[in-house]
A = this chain, B = another copy of it.
Amino acid sequence: MRETQQAALAQAMTEAASLVERRLDELLSPAVRGHEQARPARLLAAMRHAALSGGKRIRPFVLIETSGLLGVDAARALNAAVALELVHCYSLVHDDLPAMDDDDVRRGRPTVHRAYDEATAILAGDALLTMAFEVMADVATDADAGVRIALVAALARASGLGGMAGGQALDLAAETATEPLDDAAIRQLQAMKTGALLAFGVMGGAILGRASPEQSSALATYGAALGAAFQIADDILDATSSAAKLGKKAGKDAARNKATLVSRHGLASARALCQQQVEVALAALERGGFGPKAARLASLASFVAERET
């Protein structure tokens, strides 16, 4: 039963990823219908390198699945899902920069500043972030301007000073801090750096699907727990996996003496904490009363915690 569910999840993720990639490919074409603006070739190529290099496309999948739970079909959720993925792609480009995490490889390929140059990587990230908001604002996202503006506002909040960008700043600060972070600070950092954007996947889906306040509240809990489980699993993978498997450097946290729940409590405890978050996520879906339709989001929580890349 469990294996069947995971197989169904894998298939749904593959299908969603393929929709997302087709749309990204369209958006990042040299000429886009209805957009007469010039598109500088090298910058566009760098953006394509960043956005079309595979990846699991977990965030857009979460948005598509959550809105699907509320009756929105995948095609109608695609624009919002792709806007979210563009933000994720930009963040990887900037995080990889020499002044930040200084990574040469991402998904088994050279990072954007290695394949192009640093200035182009900075601009490609900027332009991907900007495009995210252009895509979200487009009428293709939803016919109701009120829904679109709520999505723009929520995406901005998840991505900026109080969300992902702020979390990355806290992460960099932690590397040079004299005192190691305590658990509360680690959780706060992770909720901002990784959790906020995953949680937007859930809440963006809730906005698009016109969730009731009760449904929204349950989904918010699910989203926060999903994000926490995802990040603890990431830290576990960094400590236990190889670069060949991850498609990026492994063992970075230990090399930088970074405080994570793994470094503070050991692998076994981190695994238990991760599993705890999965339980919270499942309980929230239960509470939301979504019934069997929520099976894939439930499988996703387990997948995120147990994934190997």
Binary flags per residue of A23-53, CB closer than 8 Å to B gives 1, else 0: 0000000000001011110111001000000
Q: At the interface, yes or no: A288 with Cβ under 8 Å from chain B?
A: no
Query: With the chains together, A100 CA to B122 CA distance in Å?
Result: 9
Residues of B within 8 A of A115 (CB): none
Query: With the chains together, A161 CA to B130 CA distance in Å?
Result: 8
- Spot the interface stretch: A12-20, A150-158, A232-240, A289-297: A150-158
Q: At the interface, yes or no: A75 with Cβ under 8 Å from chain B?
A: no
> Closest chain B residue to A47 by CB distance?
B161
Query: With the chains together, A160 CA to B128 CA distance in Å?
Result: 8
CB distance from A200 to the nearest CB of B (A): 12
- Spot the interface stretch: A59-67, A169-177, A218-226, A246-254: A169-177
Query: With the chains together, A209 CA to B168 CA distance in Å?
Result: 39
CB distance from A205 to the nearest CB of B (A): 18
Residues of B within 8 A of A42 (CB): 169, 173
Residues of B within 8 A of A127 (CB): 160-161, 165-166
CB distance from A145 to the nearest CB of B (A): 4
Binary flags per residue of A169-195, CB closer than 8 Å to B gives 1, else 0: 110110000000000000010001000
Query: With the chains together, A129 CA to B159 CA distance in Å?
Result: 10
- Contact assessment for A130 and B160 in the assembled complex, using a CB-CB cutoff below 8 Å: yes
List 11 additional contacts besides A38-B162, A42-B169, A127-B165; criterion CB under 8 Å.
A40-B161, A43-B169, A94-B123, A99-B119, A100-B119, A100-B122, A120-B172, A130-B161, A131-B160, A133-B155, A137-B156
